[in-house]
Amino acid sequence: MVDNLTKKLSCGIVFVNSKSQVLMLHPMDQRHWDIPKGTKNTEETESEAAIRETREETGIVVDPSALLDLSWFEYNKYKDLWLFITKMPDIELDQLYCTSFFTNEDGKEGPEADSFELVDLSEFEERACYSMQRIFRDGGLKRDIEDFVADNFKSSSNHE
């Protein structure tokens, strides 16, 4: 059994656009998709870790003042998750790149993320791993994303 003192903390950023689409990346050799996130180093704050991991996994440089802190989520028995949310930058998906590499069980080296997509909120849960599905469905992440879209992408047609 893993206790809270030995659990790692993974920090990430949920990027959302005005169409309620979330940036997801495909981790090499995995069936699921994920958001940019990774393990916090001891000397980093949660936001610094999330920004670093995002830069490594997507090439996106994030202004810390653009982040809204969604806080801590219980993720799985080995790690917890600290999430932030922000607007998707005006960037084409083919401009995203991963500079973080690893070697799989077969000795094949490759980028942590090998593909990127903007995924409709209605498809997020089915693409994510089980732990992320649970946070999305039961932990309030879906509501957080919906609230962020409502607060940050108000339709200009409402002013008529």
Q: pLDDT digit string (tens) for 84-105?
A: 999 999 999 999 999 999 888 8
CA distance linking residue 140 with residue 146, whole number of Å: 10
By the 10 Å C-beta count (0-12 exposed, 13-18 middle, 19+ buried), 51 is classed as buried
Class of residue 3 by CB neighbours under 10 A (exposed 0-12, middle 13-18, buried 19+): exposed
Q: In the CATH scheme, what is the code of domain 8-89+110-153?
A: 3.90.79.10
Cβ contact 88:21 at 8 Å = yes
Determine the Cα–Cα distance for residues 112 and 18; give it in Å rounded to an integer.
27
Is the pLDDT higher at 25 or at 28? 25
Whole-number mean pLDDT of the chain? 91
pLDDT of residue 102: 86
How does residue 65 score in pLDDT terms, banded at 50, 70 and 90?
very high
